[in-house]
Structure 1
Amino acid sequence: MKLAEGFQLLASAPNCVARLRELILSLAVQGKLVPQDVMDEPATSLLQKIRRERDRQISDGKIKREKALPEILEEEKPFELPKGWEWARLADLTAVLNGRAYAKHELLDAGVPVLRVGNLFTSKQWYYSDLELEVEKYCNPGDLLYAWSASFGPFIWAGPKVIYHYHIWKLDPHCDTCLNKNFLYTFLLEKTQEIKASGHGVAMIHMTKEKMEKIVVPVAPLAEQSRIVAKVDELMRLCDELESRGRLEAEQHARLTATLFEALAASESSHALAENWSRVAAHFDLLLDRPEAVDALEQTILQLAVCGLLVKQELSDEPASELLKRIQAEKDRLIADAGMRTTARLEVPEEEKYVGEVPGWQYCRLGNLARFIDYRGRTPQKVEAGVPLITAKNVRFGFISREPREYIAEKDYSAWMTRGFPRVGDLLFTTEAPLGNIALIDITERFALAQRVICFQLHDLSIGPYLRLAIMSAQVQERFSAAASGMTATGIKASRLKEIPVAIPPLAEQRRIVARVDELRRLCAALRARLTASQTCQAYFAEALVGQAALTGPVATHTADLAVAA
């Protein structure tokens, strides 16, 4: 398959645009992006002119004579050059000029701007200087720069005259008419990841000037350099268009998905649900063509479940009011016999309800369904082995992960767990960082609880599976967010958490809902796995296509096809 023929495959593969950009740069620096022209002046002539110009500047005292660079060894040449090209070290082509380091008191609020590495990337904060410096310490529009510490990369400076800071090199060609700066920029852009990988340091990776000067550069004939730069610009614009189209398509898909699924979740009756579902079913292949759309469908299923629209109500079911009477009796017993203090208001006004009247359903606040075992604010002493410790990091959205594995000492367990012991079938809830994760306890061995986790010790364990689904739903999650507080880490206090109302179906209907949700979530998981596998396969073929293109000849003849495909 040729590159142009496989463009649509590349265009729709995961991370496709970034991979296309890498391919374009790789082909450019290997001489495979545009055809060679035998009429071009070869690179050997350019290098001779550059050497003569550098020698003249040394004789005139404009630059210092540097230590001779080592000969380029065969093992330093990463690929075979096209005819007319030559290898050269970076310092053979340009002077690598250091920026100036500044003391804090030298950075002012006015004067000549001081260009720092951060300004080349994301920082909008500028400092200034009133120092009079040598000419080479200034950067002018069109100068080629290279950031070499922490953040790496080449830049053609397009701003006003500035002083460039330490951690930036200015690459000043020995002969302006013998080297296209944009061609060298293209090479450095392709080379940057390798440059960064060969750097030094742990806290802040940096490149040494000596190593930078010795980098081996493929030098094309000057006319071909210009053709390469023009072709790279053209293809990068196509990538920009493809990227914009991809973002737009993703945004449009997300809006379509959200609109249809929101309509589905907002259904107020089984009849309305059937109508809204027919609209979704008509676009099923379009909607569910990516894993994130399946995630949205799964959340919609939960919303329907907690609104009484996922399974049929049965008049023969014992109403939830009877179940809640038994739960209230158990709560009263625990208050009287064990001094339990978790309780909440009994009434739930209309403005707090998230679903209308459903036959047999009744609202109840969390604080009346369970005793809260709260270990927030306490950090136990951890050891290498012992009794497992479950923290907020282990409680995920719907399940408990045993990673990371942490422990407390056996001797500390009983003394630590003075507020109560969680049971299989109880629920664990994270109060912050993150807020709102919920999981049904399925751990049979003893374990300790740590900070940012509350155990809902249920007054009736049979409601646990449904209550977990209800708490995972968008309707209840929104109420957690509304009741939360905090600046750096949003969290919910136990006093507010216990007052959150939940719509409780009859116990028999709860079981039908849980079974139906489990069935649909298994289907969602299978669909998600298929989509992920398809994307992986697509990415594999895209990688193979890119690898094939990198080994073949110039692709300039396919540019028109690429433009049409894009």
Structure 2
Amino acid sequence: MEAQQFLAEFGHIANAPSGIDRLRDMVLDLAVQGRLALSSESKESTLGLLDEIGRWRASQTQSKKGRRAKFEVPISDLDKPFSIPEHWVWVRNSDIFSLTKGKNPKDLGPEGKYPYLDIEALDRGNIQRYTNDEQAPRSSKADILVVCDGSRSGLVLDGNDGVIGSTLARVDTLPTIQHFVKLLFLHGYRRFNAEKKGAAIPHLDTARLLARPCGLPPISDQESIVAKVDELMALCDKLESQQQARRKLQNALRKSTLQAVASSQRPHELQTTWARLADNFGQLFHAPEDVVAFKGLILDLAVSGELLNTEHRHTASGADLLRAIAKKRIEWSIESEGQEQKEALAMLKKLRSQQMTIPDAVLPEHWAWASLLQVSQAVVDCHNKTAPYVSEGIHLIRTTDIRNGRMDLSRTRKISEETYAYWARRMPPKSGDIFFTREAPMGEAAIVPDGEKVCLGQRSMLIRLFPDLFSNRFLLYVIQSRSFQTRMIEAAIGMTVKHLRVGGVEDLVVPVPPMAEQDQIVAIVDALFRMCEHYEDQLSRKRRIATNFAASAVSSLTGIAIEEEEEPMKAPQTQLIAPLSLGTAPDIKAQAPLATILARHNGEMDAKDLWQRFGGEIDTFYAQLKTEVARGWILEPTPAEMREKPADTVNV
């Protein structure tokens, strides 16, 4: 590699998104190719080292416990991912190291002879469990450990004195080449995604790992390479620290500028601070996610009346609007029939006994505070059961289909007309209604699109307004605002998975400006959001170009093509047929969210339903399930069938 070429590309790589990680990848790529060290060693010295490794491994009786798969197939030119120096030797990983897999030892508890090592214990440096199991594989501080199971499989960790758990494996190799072998593992973890496989819980593909070819250098080259890698990685750490400091200063500048906008007391002050913000947008916003905070500020200004000139005399007020809504609701209860009349009368009954807590936030004097129940025609809960799905039919809107104020109809489950008639019997949704999620996740909302027939899914509620009296777009912006979300979180219940009761949703308070001002605010926010989206798109495009350029530069410098990143982990295409049952009730202070959910549902649930109520990523769910089963809070599932699910019915 030419130094001039590296220096010419360095700035582009370092300043790109994840640029420091690209540099670290490049350092490791160059290291394993022998391009960080030059020596006059002969090939005979490397072959002598390989013989020494073989003799050492043959003398280790404990190495029989490790995975020592020997691959007799010669390494062809097609197997070699890059070129290496002439005095290096191509070997397979299995020629220079083996893996000793850990296991779950007996008698885990607070007392014991040997510390129990798992990922958490090594990460936090706080060992809490011990064992007296003499047969379990052990580790020392001089060892290299590698994570074998879970989302972090392939991660390299420094060893510690103790017994290694089932998610870890000890790397057994000749001590004099241990540092270079660790470098090989670091390279594999960063560049080749740790050779993972597995749909639900990824794990290290040890057979593929041991079969992978690598270049073996002589000891002198290894020492030189390891020292150079340490030096360059330290420089990467320093550069990353400097970038974080610069980012921190930029965040502080953006925060102070946004606060100046938010604290403007007069229209001319708002105009001045806003112009300053617009003029310096490029310096204040570094990445698309930075614009999210700005949108939050816009919404908070909007729902507090700060985006309008409200100093003139007003012909209407929020109180007038609430009286008009109350009058129309009574008319509706008289004129409606059947189920609709039942809902109308139920609304009136709830309103007579509802008690509302007024927030401390100050509104324009002609605005008012009101509950969601007070501003709505009706607030209706869903039918809280899992609907039977069909391949074609009516959209069933689940909580996962509502994100960032939009209803995504591209991946919805479908239900039949018969199911729809029963599930939507209280109040069939119509265009303009708002769907609001009260759990998993909580506080998302979206408006039903025109011309679409949809059904309310579990853990969601329907909010119907009188469209000529209250704007659904304004209410949607209120729900998305940080101030509303803060009040909502304070009203939520639940020790593990936060959620809202039906009554809790009805009691949430919203600001009420006159209808004309609602429309004005919506128009202003729409215009500002269009500007935000323009800048956000520019930043996203700039980031993509920088990322691609950095990847191309690294590829040209190292000769290794950058592999496409895998898609985010999806739910497994299988279904656990056995139910999960509550075991020993955990202590109230224990971190046992799954057992807590089971306890609320009579101690038994299907795995799919438990995951949905847990609300986390699938790999996080399975990791938590494994922990709670190990501690006895959930009973070990009986032998269960893992049945492949048809493509149109995959849910978990």
For this structure pair, what is the TM-score category when the shorter chain's length is used for normalisation? 0.7 to 0.9
- Confirm or deny: 8 A CA contact 2:110 2:128 kept in the other structure: no
CA distance in 2, matches of 1:181, 1:286: 47
Change (3 A) 1:308 1:187: same
- 1:277 paired with 2:277, answer no
- Confirm or deny: 8 A CA contact 1:317 1:509 kept in the other structure: no
Q: In structure 2, the residue corresponding to 1:2 is in which secondary structure?
A: helix
- 1:545 paired with 2:553, answer yes
Task: State the identity %.
Answer: 27
- Confirm or deny: 8 A CA contact 1:195 1:207 kept in the other structure: no
After superposition, residues 149-548 of structure 1 pair within 5 angstroms as 149-150=149-150, 152-153=153-154, 155=156, 157=158, 159-160=160-161, 162-164=162-164, 167-173=168-174, 179-192=176-189, 194=192, 196-197=194-195, 203=201, 205-208=203-206, 213-274=210-271, 276-277=273-274, 280-281=277-278, 283-313=280-310, 315=313, 318-337=316-335, 338-339=341-342, 340=344, 341-343=346-348, 344=351, 351-352=358-359, 354-358=361-365, 360-370=366-376, 371-375=378-382, 377-463=384-470, 464-548=472-556
Equivalent in the alignment of 1:561: none
Match of 2:114 among 112, 115, 139: 112
Q: In structure 2, the residue corresponding to 1:456 is in which secondary structure?
A: strand
Change (3 A) 1:283 1:194: closer
CA distance in 1, matches of 2:285, 2:110: 56
TM-score, structure 1 length as denominator?
0.83
- 1:82 paired with 2:88, answer no
CA distance in 2, matches of 1:66, 1:475: 60
Match of 1:21 among 21, 24, 27: 24
Using the TM superposition, give the Cα deviation of residue 436 of structure 1 relative to its aligned residue in structure 2, in angstroms. Answer: 1.8
Aligned amino acid, residue 262 of structure 2: A
Change (3 A) 1:321 1:140: closer
Structure 2 unaligned blocks of 5 or more: 336-340, 561-652
- Confirm or deny: 8 A CA contact 1:382 1:409 kept in the other structure: yes
Equivalent in the alignment of 2:6: 3
Q: In structure 1, the residue corresponding to 2:530 is in which secondary structure?
A: helix
- Confirm or deny: 8 A CA contact 2:435 2:462 kept in the other structure: yes
Q: Which structure would you say has the larger Rg?
A: 1
Aligned amino acid, residue 255 of structure 2: A
- Confirm or deny: 8 A CA contact 2:103 2:165 kept in the other structure: yes
Residues 31-87 of structure 1 show CA distances to partners (whole Å, capped at 9, x for unaligned) of: 1123x133xx32422322542674598699999999794543333222222232222
Q: In structure 2, the residue corresponding to 1:87 is in which secondary structure?
A: strand
Moved more, 482-491 or 191-200: 191-200
Equivalent in the alignment of 1:555: none
Q: In structure 2, the residue corresponding to 1:508 is in which secondary structure?
A: helix
Q: In structure 1, the residue corresponding to 2:369 is in which secondary structure?
A: strand
Change (3 A) 1:236 1:216: same
Q: In structure 2, the residue corresponding to 1:104 is in which secondary structure?
A: coil
Equivalent in the alignment of 2:566: none
Change (3 A) 1:60 1:254: closer
Using the TM superposition, give the Cα deviation of residue 131 of structure 1 relative to its aligned residue in structure 2, in angstroms. Answer: 5.6
CA distance in 1, matches of 2:484, 2:197: 50
Q: State how many pairs are aligned.
A: 539
Q: In structure 2, the residue corresponding to 1:487 is in which secondary structure?
A: coil
Structure of greater relative contact order (alpha carbons < 8 Å, 6+ residues apart): 1
Equivalent in the alignment of 1:559: none
TM-score, structure 2 length as denominator?
0.73
Change (3 A) 1:186 1:268: same
Using the TM superposition, give the Cα deviation of residue 511 of structure 1 relative to its aligned residue in structure 2, in angstroms. Answer: 1.6
CA distance in 2, matches of 1:364, 1:102: 57
